[in-house]
Structure 1
């Protein structure tokens, strides 16, 4: 089984591009297992307990759409969510899941924008020894 970690953000087009890439892998329906990961950022620990129950990746549209696309292609899919530092969570989940590859959704950003705001994609690429695929998607 070929395992891929697919960290998605809230951009539906990027998530669909990532799902399309995974679905297009050779013999995907029979030999690929995908984990969709959504990382909640920001401090939500002060939310009331009854609201915390709704903080789930399955409620995020980009995750739902990517999952549907993969399931339509016959790819085995599971959804996970995490909270905290996006890069660290991606790297930890890739290790825990023993991912054969990480499929990220890239976006256009200027070199200055990367320097000022950081780049999750760049950080993941520089801090893993696993293969990383960066798909396009979205109009940004």
Structure 2
């Protein structure tokens, strides 16, 4: 079983780019297991991760393809939380979304993505722009 951890924020397009990247990985859907994590930095309303459209879109998309899904949530620094879950779950791969940047910022990833890439002890895939 190939275990992937996907870090999802509240942006639906970036979340779906990650989901498509995982669905496109080699191997049968039954050989993949995904943990979707959303880390709340501020959650005054007490929402759960499964209430976010981005998380629902990813779980629906992957479940429709027969991929086993688990949703987890945390609070705190998103990069730290994503790395912690990947370590605890002994994930084979971490998937995060990239962002389109201005010419000046093209050499830089978002702060969460950059932190995950630099601090991960396992492979990290950066998913590109969402496809229509």
State the TM-score, normalized to the length of structure 2.
0.88
SS at match of 1:13: helix
1:123 aligns with 2:115: yes
Q: Once superposed, what is the RMSD of the aligned Cα atoms? A: 2.2
Find the counterpart in structure 2 of residue 96 from structure 1.
88
Count of aligned pairs: 130
CA deviations on 1:6-35 (whole Å, 9 max, x unpaired) are 001111111111111111112241111000
Runs of 4 or more above 4 Å deviation: 110-115
CA contact (8 A) 1:40 1:81 kept: yes
1:57 aligned partner: 49
Q: Which has the higher helix share?
A: 1
Higher-Rg member (1/2) = 1
What secondary structure, in the 3-state scheme, does the structure 2 residue paired with 1:39 have? strand
Q: CA 1:40/1:28 → structure 2, altered by over 3 Å: closer, same or farther?
A: farther
| Gaps in structure 2 of 5+ consecutive residues | none
Residue aligning to 2:75: 83
TM-score by length of 1: 0.83
State the shift of 1:138 in Å: 4.9
Mapped contact 2:21–2:127 kept (Cα < 8 A): yes
Q: Secondary structure at the match of 1:126?
A: helix
